[in-house]
Amino acid sequence: MINLLFLLNLLAFGNGFTIHQHRHTAPHALSAAAAASKRQPLQAGHSRLHYYTTSPLHAAPKSLQDLLDTPSLWDPIKNDLNAVPAFACANDQGQPLQYDIGTGPLAFFFLDIHAAKDELRKAQKETAMEGLTLVPFPLGEVFEMGAKQMALIVPSQKSLEDAGGPSGMNPLGQQVPLFGCMDMTQNRPDGTSMVPLFLSMEEAREAMDMALQAVPDGDKGQFDITVIPLAGAVQMQATRSDRSFTYVPPTSSMDYLRSLEN
């Protein structure tokens, strides 16, 4: 189970968002393996938003499994991902409920706490199992399970719509979109700075707007929100020594975890 104290300690960190005033050449931010990228407006009000598609890993490491098998590369990324909770319906032993989707049993892990609560109510009604509850798990561990086809990470429906998906689309089986400004960094307690990636468009935009307060009005238009699939962000960290991310959990998820401590 996820370390609740570790996650709740994140709430005490100062935001420390900083905009770096240099023109970011977004298509070159991906590795050569992901050079095929495209720009597209998503919806009204988001005309400056870009979505970058990525190809499977074929730089060093050569595959996702190679990455997971290389602790020196994977462990730091996993630790960064572990800052984000993913919620599963679980029995009183903390074991996630398994779903049969035709390819074998999978555990569903929800990144949206509200969707997770809805799933819990549904599971309690349909399975009649006693002791079912929501259990938070670290996203890094869940990502490993997903790579082994043991788990499915379910993004929020709102995040898919903000990333350009149609209204009301089924989030099951969809890539997880992350949102962030590639010219913005977040200061960490150890003195390092990383690009923060959010699971919410709204929270990413709020952070960028906060950082842009220190930027002259005439320069603010050059800064964009970028949409990166979770797998693409992991790829970038694995293949580029100059690209590090910090993954920012949704406020609603942290509020829920804090409620468990009360």
Q: What is the pLDDT of residue 222?
A: 86
Q: What is the pLDDT of residue 129?
A: 85
Q: Positive or negative CA dihedral for 62, 65, 71, 76?
A: positive
Residue that has been written with the tokens 């800052």 in this structure: 83
| Segments in the chain below pLDDT 70 | 1-60, 262
Q: What is the pLDDT of residue 127?
A: 87
Please tell me whether residue 246 adopts helix, strand or coil conformation.
strand
Q: What is the pLDDT of residue 4?
A: 42
Closest to 111 in 3D by CA, of 199, 51, 227, 229? 199
Q: How far apart are CA 34 and CA 239, in angstroms?
A: 11
pTM: 0.78
Q: How far apart are CA 88 and CA 113, in angstroms?
A: 10
Residues 247 and 142 sit within 8 Å (Cβ to Cβ) = no
Half-sphere exposure of 139 (CA within 13 A, CB side): 27
